[in-house]
Structure 1
Amino acid sequence: MNHLSERVTGRVRGRGTGANPATRFDAHDRAAVDDGWGHEDDLPPRRTELRDERSRSIIARNTSPDIGFDRSINPYRGCEHGCIYCYARPSHAYLGLSPGLDFETRLTARPDAAAVLERELRAPRYVPAPIALGTATDPYQPVERDRRITRDVLEVLQRFRHPVTVATKGTLVTRDADILGEMSGAGLARVGVSLTTLDAGLARRMEPRVPAPAARLRSIEALARAGAVVRVMVSPVVPGLTDHEIEAVLTAARDVGAVAASWIMLRLPYEVAGLFEGWLDTHAPGRRDKVMARLCEMHGGRSYSAEWGKRMRGEGPHARLISQRFEMARARLGLGYRLEPLRCDLFEVPLAQGAQLSLF
């Protein structure tokens, strides 16, 4: 059954968007109308709903030629962080939910992820290669504090000596510094911490439930101190809004222990474009035309192009300028060194619980 989309106008406290736009799969639409009985500001905060999902498989595969991994795990569907620009928002449409407010408030957890992962790693024909943890939604969003699904997954990967990369904006990643530090020391793990801006006010508006930039810098420092290999991800770069901070972000991350850096241009697939433009109208109206004009310049006159090899960077003079600035700053700060590939030769299937050792 298609989800009847609820259009919410205005702001919802603590959330990235107040809208629940219809999706390309919806057969029907529904619009909210002011009936004169009250004001949206009187509404209580939208609470997070979390349901469990039993998984038949947990390792997702991809064949995209411009992505550096072929398998990933996402312990959660939807993300409470509420980043308005999140390119994964449209994935909620496949669940019959909206990429808008639903994506931030109607989440799905996979509590059996670790058990399913162990079963898949024990398959006789399984061939190890780095697993990317948290590619669509953040593995360290707030609900992870209680659910600990990401921690369970990491413990399985550690026992199997399986390589893993982690991408997050959440400071909860430092809870697992013991695992990530040990695995990094063995050439089995790398951690990427996303830092979009150093402006705490802008970050709060753009990424409402993500820890403040200063807190993320402290996470990088704590991970590095524990022996983890940490990469700062300037992701996304928003042209006309955050691109002037590239050098400052890289410097701040380098100073607390990051050893590598990467970047991605703002991506606005499907419903994300309308959500982000609505956010600009509310939170940065003076920048709206400039930001959207630069994005359109980079994508052949459209706000986004999904063409492989170009979707992450864009094209044209401004895209090249951002790329050149990033590369120059990365080299100057010593963040340009190429990390060694993660090791796959240490992979070993441990003895199953209750199993007996062979006599021969």
Structure 2
Amino acid sequence: MRNAAAAAARRAAPPPLLPPVRLSRSPCYPHQVFLPLQPYPGHRPPALLTAYANAGLPAAASRLFDEMPARDAVAWNARPGTAAYAFRGMATARFAPTAATLCTMALRPGCCVENSRSFMDAFLILGRIELNGIALTCALTACSATANLMYSMLVQCKAVRHGSTSQTILCNALIDMYAKCGRTMAARIVFDQMACRNVVSWSSMIDAYSCHGHGEAALGLFKRMEKVAPVVLPNEVTFLAVLSACGQSGLVDEGGAMLHLMKRQYGINPGPEHYACFIDLLGRAGQNDEAWYLYCSFIITRSELSGSICVAMLNACKANMDVLRGNKVALHLLEVDPENPGSHVLISNFHAVARQWSESDEPRRIILDKGSLGVQLIDFNSWY
């Protein structure tokens, strides 16, 4: 009787807390969060799995997964590990892979997109799940992450056989994929054959031209987009792509006209990223005085001065060897975005180009003290 009572008490008692695990969300500025590895009701365990995996603690995530009393498809999708392991485990547990499984596995860093064998495992389940536009779009997005043209074309063939090529979301993914693979002509063919284009379609194609230095083609496509208004109207992303295209091709006048056009005709207030793009455009064109005049307007108001604007101005000063202004911008950048390791790297590189060796050492020392790996990005070629 005594043994039976003790056994019943053990079964009724809550499971003991496992040792807490520290989540370090950033290698530079760790935020120490202590979470117990204990089963919770509902979908909180998969959320914890994702949190541990994102914090770079796959062992802790695997331990939590093993301690779960019941595992559903959501938990399997959240478990860290290779795609092949997840697919085999789901098959053993009699859970059929779904489009969500493909999305999760194909886009997981260090899994499918960086491992060709695991990527093939993820691709093979396309033949075992119910194909739809979402699943095919996720597969194309995974292919785009590594500019894998071969698998991308295989996914496109499956989309053609499935009859999904008329879906706008899938065509947008095709445009983005071909652009990242360097096939702007193929992206344009997909764009021209689309039955229905939305603002994402136009913006993606303009951005494809921008990324590959075809500024004139991007501007021509934007003017064509204006002709279909008000069916499709450009948004902030569209204008950012056009400004970037102007910057890649040195089209200063056209870039300035775009800033005025987006506010005057479309009622869109340019954001810090738009001004940063235009300052970068002026710096590339050697018009550092004009870039500085625009930059000073933000210093006076302090309303929209951001890290991106400071970075653009500092790059302009670096390209034009404007050391005096660059030193001022470096101080502003540290004031606006002091916690970003990239800011310290950029400032260090600027001082190195200007041969200000003592100033160049200080940002690197700050990064090393904080334990950031960003110091590896410093351009040491500029030291000589």
The TM-score with structure 2 as length reference comes to 0.29
Higher strand proportion: 1
Higher helix proportion: 2
